[in-house]
């Protein structure tokens, strides 16, 4: 375990922020020109995680993403961004079958998926007008709420795509298409086997139509990746959802159908997500259920945003389990409350009850809490806590309790 004092690192990050720099000037004015823009995304995080049967893990990580854009926002432009993740508290392992290939590596510790890594995060050429965007190269792609296609923004090393991307919008209609031939995943250059970069062919279609406060969305995701790397990543998914907003509250209703692709054996699987939000005084109440049948997988999703922050079900939802799925599907019943606390602190809590897809097996409960404070336009402080109470009768690792706490500082310009 490296015995580094992390306070100077956090203080230096704070010092670069306009919140603490002692000036009202735009901190990047001198770096920006008509045709040249420098950007930086930085995050310092301390995370503690414990899974029953394993040792406690403690991680302190710093992630930097410096970038340069040549060209204007409208018209032709090029963008390059590198990504650097450093560990200054190293009492953890990343938790893959090849964990010993990563740094840090403390065998027997609870997994935390933030290995040290240095790589090219984005490099693309784009042409943009008021109505459409065409982009080619390594890039960040997020569709809708990232339940199927996302950048895994919670982890320090984000997921990016080697892709051709196009979008077109006209009044209330928007259409997006992406062709992928490589997915650069969160374990970076040292990832092997099921967690290495995915190669193959994927065609992603996504469209939406807005009608006043309401919207209708549809998507088709056709993915055929190398079976040698990650057989369960290949699938064809067809889905639709609607968001409806009324004075008494808002509704989200989604359904998707999934079949085999590539050389996979035949299967069909279903997905559904329903929720209702209502504002009562200063509180926002959210109640919903998300349902995945046994074989349904979302290998390119930002899974941390779903089914609890303790990340108990991520391997099954991503399809990382070897052979047949190790779960019997998932039904997530959840109830959440969010509000603004004194000091303009955004606070939210969510309770989950997890069952299999037929409601026959109870996996366990989970409680989550998040507090976020925007210090200024460029800087935000976030604390997050989660505890999963595994049911003793649940199969496999689902019977184990899992706890997680993190505090992080995000800075960007």
Q: Residues 209, 210, 214, 217: what is their CA dihedral angle, to the nearest 10 degrees? A: 20
| Tens-binned pLDDT, residue by residue, of the chain (413 aa) | 444 454 554 555 555 455 755 443 443 434 556 799 999 999 999 999 999 999 999 999 999 999 999 999 899 999 999 999 999 999 999 987 778 889 999 999 999 999 999 999 999 999 999 999 999 999 999 999 999 999 999 999 999 999 999 999 999 999 999 999 999 999 988 777 778 889 999 999 999 999 999 999 999 999 998 866 566 789 999 999 999 999 999 999 999 999 999 877 899 999 999 999 999 999 999 999 999 999 999 999 999 999 999 999 998 999 887 555 568 999 999 999 999 999 999 999 999 999 999 999 999 999 999 999 999 999 999 999 999 999 998 887 899 999 999 999 999 99
Q: Answer whether residue 1 is part of any domain.
A: no
pLDDT of residue 22: 46
> Is residue 114 helix, strand or coil?
coil
Task: State how many domains the chain has.
Answer: 1
Element (H, E) at 408: strand 402-412
Q: Which long-range contacts (CB under 8 A, 24 or more apart) does 9-15 make?
A: 9/44, 9/62, 9/88, 10/44, 10/409, 13/42, 13/44, 13/62, 13/409, 13/411, 14/379, 14/409
Residue 241 vs residues 207, 217, 355: alpha-carbon distances, Å:
11, 5, 23
pLDDT of residue 176: 99
Give yes or no for a contact between 211 and 204, defined as CB atoms under 8 angstroms apart.
no
pLDDT of residue 26: 40
Q: Is the pTM of this model over 0.85?
A: yes
Q: Answer whether residue 2 is part of any domain.
A: no
Q: Domain of residue 114: give its range.
A: 7-412
Q: Residues 143, 147, 153, 156: what is their CA dihedral angle, to the nearest 10 degrees? A: -130
Question: What's 356's DSSP letter?
Answer: -
pLDDT of residue 341: 96
Q: Answer whether residue 381 is part of any domain.
A: yes
Distance CA 405, CA 389 (A): 15
Distance CA 239, CA 273 (A): 11
Beta bridge partners of 331: 291, 355
Distance CA 63, CA 72 (A): 27
Q: Answer whether residue 135 is part of any domain.
A: yes
Q: Answer whether residue 197 is part of any domain.
A: yes
Residue 60 vs residues 37, 338, 371: alpha-carbon distances, Å:
30, 28, 19
Distance CA 170, CA 130 (A): 9
CATH code of the domain in which 22 resides: 2.40.160.10
pLDDT of residue 191: 77
Beta bridge partners of 371: 347, 383
> Backbone dihedral region of 295: left (phi > 0), alpha (psi from -120 to 50 degrees) or beta?
alpha
Tokens of 24: 């009202």
Distance CA 262, CA 258 (A): 13
pLDDT of residue 51: 96
């Amino acid at each position: 375990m490296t015995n580094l004092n992390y306070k100077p690192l956090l203080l230096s990050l704070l010092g670069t922020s306009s919140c603490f720099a002692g000036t009202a000037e735009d901190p990047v004015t001198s770096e920006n020109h008509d045709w040249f823009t420098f950007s930086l995304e930085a995050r310092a995080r301390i995370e503690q995680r414990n899974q029953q049967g394993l040792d406690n893990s403690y991680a302190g990580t710093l992630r930097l993403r410096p970038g340069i854009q040549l060209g204007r926002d409208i018209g032709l432009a090029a963008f390059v961004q590198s990504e650097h993740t450093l560990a200054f508290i190293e009492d953890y392992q990343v938790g893959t079958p090849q964990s010993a290939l990563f740094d840090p590596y403390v065998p027997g510790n609870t997994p935390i998926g933030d290995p040290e890594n240095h790589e090219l995060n984005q490099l693309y050429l784009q042409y943009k007008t008021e109505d459409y965007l065409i982009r080619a190269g390594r890039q960040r792609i997020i569709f809708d709420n990232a339940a199927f296609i996302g950048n895994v923004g919670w982890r320090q090393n984000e997921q990016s795509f080697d892709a051709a991307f196009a979008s077109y919008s006209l009044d209330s209609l928007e259409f997006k298409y992406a062709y992928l031939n490589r997915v650069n995943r969160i374990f970076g250059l040292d990832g092997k086997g099921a967690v290495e970069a995915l190669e193959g062919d994927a065609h992603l279609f996504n469209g939406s139509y807005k009608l006043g406060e309401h919207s209708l969305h549809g998507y088709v995701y056709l993915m055929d990746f190398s079976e040698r790397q990650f057989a369960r990543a290949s699938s064809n998914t067809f889905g639709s959802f609607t968001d409806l907003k009324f004075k008494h509250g808002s509704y989200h209703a989604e359904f998707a159908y999934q079949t085999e692709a590539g050389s996979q054996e035949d299967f069909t699987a279903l997905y559904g997500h329903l929720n209702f939000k209502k504002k009562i005084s200063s509180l926002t109440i959210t109640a919903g259920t998300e349902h995945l049948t046994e074989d349904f997988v979302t290998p390119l999703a930002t899974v941390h945003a779903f089914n609890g922050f303790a990340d108990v079900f991520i391997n099954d939802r991503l399809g990382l389990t070897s052979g047949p799925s190790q779960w019997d599907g998932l039904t997530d019943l959840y109830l959440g409350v969010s509000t603004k606390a004194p000091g303009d602190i955004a606070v939210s809590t969510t309770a989950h009850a997890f069952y299999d897809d037929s409601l026959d097996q109870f996996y366990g409960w989970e409680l989550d809490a998040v507090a976020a404070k925007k210090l200024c336009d460029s800087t935000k402080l976030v604390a997050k806590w989660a505890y999963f109470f595994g049911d003793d009768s649940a199969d496999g690792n689902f019977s184990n309790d899992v706890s997680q706490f993190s505090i992080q500082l995000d800075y960007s310009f």
